[in-house]
Amino acid sequence: MKRIIATIFTMAIGFNMGFTALAAGTVGQNGRQDIDVKAKYSDTVTTPDVYSIDIEWDNMTFTYSEAGTMDWDPATHTYTENVTSGWDKDSADVTVANHSNVPVDISFGYVPEDNYGVTSALTHTESTVNLNAAIEGNLTDIPSVTATLTVSGTPNKNVTEEGVVVGKITVKII
C-alpha cells in the first residue's frame, strides 16, 4: 500500500512539473523562442461641451433733439419755426460671439412699442443664425453675428427727457 501511495504521489509531482514546463516553454541548446509584443490604445478621454457666449451691446439710448427758435411774427400773430431736429444716432448694434467648443444657434427678437411715434426695427429677426464652434487656438476669427437696431420718426409728447422704453430686444441662445 505504501508503494501505491508513493507511486501516485510521484506521478502527481511529475504531472505538475509537466504543466509548468509547457507554460514556460523549454528551449534547448542553440534554440530560440519568440513572442509578439503588443501595444494597445484605449481612448477614454471625453470632451465636455463648454458654452461661452459674449453678447456686446452698443448703447441703446437714442436722443431726439430739437434746437433753434420759434420766432414770433407780431403782424400775423404766428410763430415761424427756425428749428432743426433729429436723432443723435440712427442705429446701434448687438453682437453675439461664440467662444464655445460647440456650435450654437442664435435668435434675435424685437418688440417695438407703438404709442411713442418712434419707428424702430432690428435685423436678423426673421430666422435663426448658426454660429460655428470657436477654432482651437484662433483668437482672431471668432464666429459672431451682429444685429442692427434702427430708429427713425418723430417722437410724440409721451417721450420724456428721462426716457421711455420704445422697444425690447431679446437674444436667445438655442
Q: What is the pLDDT of residues 13-37, one digit of tens each?
A: 555 554 444 446 788 888 899 999 9
* DSSP collapsed to 3 states, 101-145: CCCEEEEEEEEECCCCCEEEEECCCCCCEEECCCCCCCCCCCCEE
pLDDT at position 16 is: 55
Q: Exposed, middle or buried by CB within 10 Å (0-12, 13-18, 19+), for 30?
A: exposed
**Distance, CA of 24 to CA of 33 (rounded, Å):** 11
Cα 165 from Cα 169, distance rounded (Å) = 11
Residue 94 corresponds to which cell in the numbers above?
Answer: 448687438
Q: Distance between terminal CA atoms of the chain?
A: 88
Asked whether the predicted pLDDT for residue 11 surpasses 80, the reply is no
Question: Is the model more confident about 15 or about 40?
Answer: 40
Return the pLDDT at 26. 84
Cβ atoms of residues 131 and 104 within 8 Å? yes
Q: Name the band, by pLDDT with cuts 50, 70 and 90, for residue 4.
A: low
Secondary structure class of 81 (helix, strand, coil):
strand
Span 90-138, pLDDT tens digits = 999 999 999 999 999 999 999 999 899 999 999 999 999 999 999 999 9
CATH class of 53-173: mainly beta
Q: Answer yes or no: are the C-beta atoms of 133 and 69 closer than 8 Å.
A: no
Which amino acid appears at position 104 of this protein? Answer: V
Q: What is the pLDDT of residues 43-99, one digit of tens each?
A: 999 999 999 999 999 999 999 999 999 999 999 999 999 999 999 999 999 999 999
Q: What pLDDT was estimated at residue 12?
A: 57
pLDDT for 20 equals: 41
Q: What is the mean pLDDT of residues 157-173?
A: 96
Q: Where are the domains of the chain?
A: 53-173
Tell me which residue of 110, 139, 131 sits closest to 173, measured CA to CA: 131
Confidence at residue 10, expressed as pLDDT on a 0 to 100 scale: 56
